[in-house]
Amino acid sequence: MPSLPAKGGGRDAAPQPAPKTPATNATHATPVSGWLILFLATACGLIAANLYYSQPLVGPISAELGLSPRAAGLIVTMTQVGYGIGLLLIVPLGDLFENRKLVMTVIALGAVALLASGFAATPGLFLTAALFIGIGSVAVQILVPYAAHLATDETRGRVVGNVMSGLMFGIMLSRPVSSFLTELTNWRVIFFVSTAVMIALMVAVRLVLPISRPTVRPHYFELLGSMARLMISNRILRRRALYQASLFATFSLFWTTVPLLLAGPDFNMSQAGIALFALAGAAGAIAAPIGGRMADRGWMRPATAIAMASVPVALMLTHLGTMGSSFSLVVLVLGAIMLDFGLTCNMVLGQRAIFSLGAAYRNRINGVYMATFFAAGAIGSAVGGWAFAHGGWMWATAVGMLFPGLGLLYYLSEYLRPLEMPKAP
């Protein structure tokens, strides 16, 4: 396989010539069409939403299935664990197999798991289905490198940012959608609705996306082994993955525990109220195209500092005012927007950096990047549920600030040995 340099500024091994198809030629002169970017963004949003439908429903799901409050965080954690498994074992297949068929197959797996979740009658069955929902949702991380392949070198940050904005809107709108549907019906309906959406999306992918075949065909186990070597040997990939991990742990902790806070005695909100809160927080998704444009202009370092610092500041903001008052609700919303903004901006900055490392192994690079911070997200959800059960919102946010605090310390060490961004291959 092609090898990445230990530093970003070294010479990459020359990839084999790509077939002249739009889906595999990353440097073609014709810009990718706006409607195809819109389709990819929409597809990514619909798939990614499956990871988070259960997040605001932790209370009703655990109550009906008999999960204890301390174990309720597993509802979200199992989905993220499945996503991490898929990132490590399935996403690399995008460098081995034709991408369109692979995306359709993975979406089909997710659709079956969603259907099983809707019918689950025991905690074990639901948590198993949640694991496979996560695995099926990694189709989105095959589509994102696909979008990077379509883009020219000069517009890659903008294209990836626009597609990621769809992904982030899907994540953030999934919570209010599932809350609203649960308020009107029950929590099972959202899983049945999403099953139908995934079936329709499979048909659309088959009709809309051009064929994308990899330019090299390494053995599967060679692919898996290369992922560890990429993480160890490449400083840009390693740093960007760990930066994002420190933020995503807090993101998962926040959105696992804040519905419990809002439904508790301080705010006593219904599922509809929690949905409106999550809808307001979705405004942070506007950071994706902003982050992509800043990266294209060479503002990577200051943009990273602002994005990472905004997350702990957002958590501190949520403690202003008396808990349960109108003012405290306003600052909670502002904190949610700031937190989502920082996370989204940093994720796009990281993807712009890693997608410049090599076209022949973008799926593996993206798999390592995403798996690293989704593992942190699973930890954040589990620890957040435990912290909230033991010490309420104060404990949850204290633990939440620890993760980005460590990330910022690691980021500051970059000034001792600055990263040199590579030229696009």
387 vs 371, more confident: 387
Q: How confident is the model at residue 3, as a pLDDT?
A: 41
What tokens appear for 16 in the block?
Answer: 């084999």
Query: 418 falls in which pLDDT band (50, 70, 90)?
Result: low
What tokens appear for 122 in the block?
Answer: 């025991």
Q: How confident is the model at residue 14, as a pLDDT?
A: 34
Out of 109-123, 232-246, 288-302, which region has the weakest mean confidence (pLDDT)? Answer: 288-302
Q: How confident is the model at residue 215, as a pLDDT?
A: 67
Mean pLDDT of 264-273: 86
Radius of gyration of the chain measured on its C-alpha atoms: 20
Q: Return the sign of the alpha-carbon dihedral for residues 121, 123, 124, 126.
A: positive
With 0.75 as the threshold, say if the pTM is over it: no
* Cα 331 from chain centroid (whole Å): 25
pLDDT at 15 over 60: no
Q: Report whether 252 contacts 384 (CB < 8 A).
A: yes
Mean pLDDT of 195-216: 87
pLDDT at 115 over 80: yes
- Calpha distance 201→171 (Å, rounded): 17
Helices (H) and strands (E) in the chain, counts: 15, 0
pLDDT at 158 over 80: no
- Calpha distance 425→413 (Å, rounded): 28
Q: How confident is the model at residue 62, as a pLDDT?
A: 87
Mean pLDDT of 182-211: 92
Query: Position of tokens 């942190």?
Result: 376
Which residues are CB-contacts of 110 (< 8 A; sequence separation ≥ 6)?
A: 47, 50, 132, 133, 135, 136, 137, 139, 198
Query: 423 falls in which pLDDT band (50, 70, 90)?
Result: very low
Superfamily classification of domain 34-412: MFS general substrate transporter like domains (1.20.1250.20)
Q: How confident is the model at residue 263, as a pLDDT?
A: 87
- Calpha distance 154→296 (Å, rounded): 7
pLDDT at 422 over 50: no
> What whole-number percentage of the chain has pLDDT above 70?
84
- Calpha distance 283→294 (Å, rounded): 19
Which residues are CB-contacts of 381 (< 8 A; sequence separation ≥ 6)?
A: 73, 76, 77, 80, 252, 253, 256
Mean pLDDT of the chain: 82
Q: How confident is the model at residue 224, as a pLDDT?
A: 77
Mean pLDDT of 365-372: 82
pLDDT at 171 over 90: no
- Calpha distance 13→298 (Å, rounded): 24
416, exposed or middle or buried, with CB in 10 Å at 0-12, 13-18, 19+? exposed
Mean pLDDT of 239-254: 93
Mean pLDDT of 273-284: 78
- Calpha distance 94→237 (Å, rounded): 18
- Nearest Cα neighbor of 114 from 185, 25, 20, 197 is 197
pLDDT at 13 over 80: no
Angle at CA 151, nearest 5°, toward 42 and 223?
A: 85
Residue 215's CB is within 10 A of a number of other CB atoms, namely 18
Out of 244-248, 307-311, 318-322, 378-382, which region has the weakest mean confidence (pLDDT)? Answer: 378-382
- Calpha distance 277→79 (Å, rounded): 22
For 208-366, list the strands marked E by DSSP. none
341-360 pLDDT, tens digit per residue, is: 888 888 888 888 887 776 66
Query: Position of tokens 């995403």?
Result: 370
* Residue 186 DSSP code: -
Q: How confident is the model at residue 205, as a pLDDT?
A: 93
pLDDT at 49 over 90: yes
Query: 104 falls in which pLDDT band (50, 70, 90)?
Result: very high
Q: How confident is the model at residue 270, as a pLDDT?
A: 83
Q: Report whether 260 contacts 414 (CB < 8 A).
A: no
- Nearest Cα neighbor of 379 from 12, 147, 55, 76 is 76
Domain ranges of the chain: 34-412
Q: How confident is the model at residue 80, as a pLDDT?
A: 81
Query: 216 falls in which pLDDT band (50, 70, 90)?
Result: low
Phi, psi at 96, each rounded to 5°: -120, -40
